[in-house]
Amino acid sequence: MKDLLARLARWLNGLSPTRAYTLSLFCAVAFALADLCSAPGLSFSLCYVLVIGFAGWTSGALAATLLALIPAAVMAWEDWHVFGNDAPTTMTWNILSRVALYILVSWVCAALARANRRHRAAAQERTAAWKAEAAQHQATTAQLRETVERFEQVINNITEVFWLTNPEKTEMIYISPGYERIWGRSCEALRANPISWLDALHPDDRAEITRRSKTEQTTSAYDVEYRIIRPDATERWIRDRAFPVRNAAGEIYRVAGIAEDMTERVRLERQILEVTDREQARIGQDIHDGLCQELVGIAFDASQLQNALEARGVPDAARAKRMATELDGAITKARQVARGLFPIRMEGEGVISALEELLNSVHERWNFECNLELSGEVQIPPGGVATHLYRIAHEAVNNAVKHSSGKKTRHPPRWHRRHCHIGHRGRW
């Protein structure tokens, strides 16, 4: 029964106004004919009300009012047959009250229909707006999901470590998987303790990096290099940078950073420096053992030639003497160049002896007074560190001689043990 009524309601709602009014007119005529043919005591008032209400609902108040004339005429005819001319007042009252009832029903149903249509239109608009909003939300969600997937693909495949924290360093908002590859420690442990990455710092770097991470990461000045010790006891060089992130009010509410493993680059730089040192040493040794020896031989021949020409009283003896003098100067310069490229005394006696020889040669060549002052025991690490220190001192002395107008220089400045110690950012 419920299905039948639901189908009937859908069918009636699907009728056009013309077909609905035609159906209402047909039903009104049918009820009128049935009313005329039935017994006098049988009333069709409820049927008329339903037909007029349906007409008012589907076709409007005016069409329903015109339709109401049919049952009004039928009921007036029945009253005239019942009362005749004996009760005109009663007949008039019955006719007017029925017509008023039908008109009221038609206008009320028409008003309800208009309200229902407005409500349905508003509901359709809201439904359409909700559907559009839901579609936009789905599109935004899909776009956000795609963006997150791309971000994760990039972050998971780059070798650098991307990190994001709050300014107080009490929360690790994000850490990329590169942290596990470089530090050799889990991201979960870092999220649980956001400052646990400091435990991996090299002991020589820990104090300074801890201080700078607390003071410089919110000022865009944090760009540091340090060493870490992995759990497998291997050492790696790290370059770490940080940038403050501000909200709409201009307040720093996050700190973003990126750390990269530069161990391979440091190794290559060291290899390049070692190759450069070896090549310079080879050139210096070739000059010292080859060119200088040949110049010494030529100078010896020039000296013998000078003596022979002087013994014979030849005027060209003076020219031979100048040649010998110039050759001695060339030998001295060649030896100085060889010592700059390959300080021979440093290889045998150490950097201090090489520096003393450097200062003596500067004094002899430029007539500058150079002093070397030492404070305490100087310890130079093995390898190429001594060579680099010697070259730094050599360059500084040359700059002082060339660009100063003084007659006395002191190089290097007072040497303390800490000056000879190679810091954690030094690469020799």
Q: How far apart are CA 174 and CA 203, in angstroms?
A: 26
pLDDT of res. 425: 35
> Running along the chain, 428 residues long, what does each successive block of 10 average in pLDDT?
67 72 81 73 74 81 79 75 66 76 84 85 89 91 87 77 90 90 92 92 92 88 93 93 91 92 89 80 77 79 80 79 82 75 57 72 67 67 64 73 57 35 32
Q: How far apart are CA 23 and CA 56, in angstroms?
A: 12
pLDDT of res. 19: 80
Q: In sequence order, what E strands does 205-339 have? A: 223-229, 235-246, 252-261
pLDDT of res. 420: 30
pLDDT of res. 256: 93
pLDDT of res. 364: 65
Q: Is the dihedral of CA 152, 155, 156, 161 positive or negative?
A: negative
Question: For residue 235, what are its two tokens?
Answer: 């050492």
pLDDT of res. 317: 78
pTM: 0.49
Q: How far apart are CA 280 and CA 7, in angstroms?
A: 102
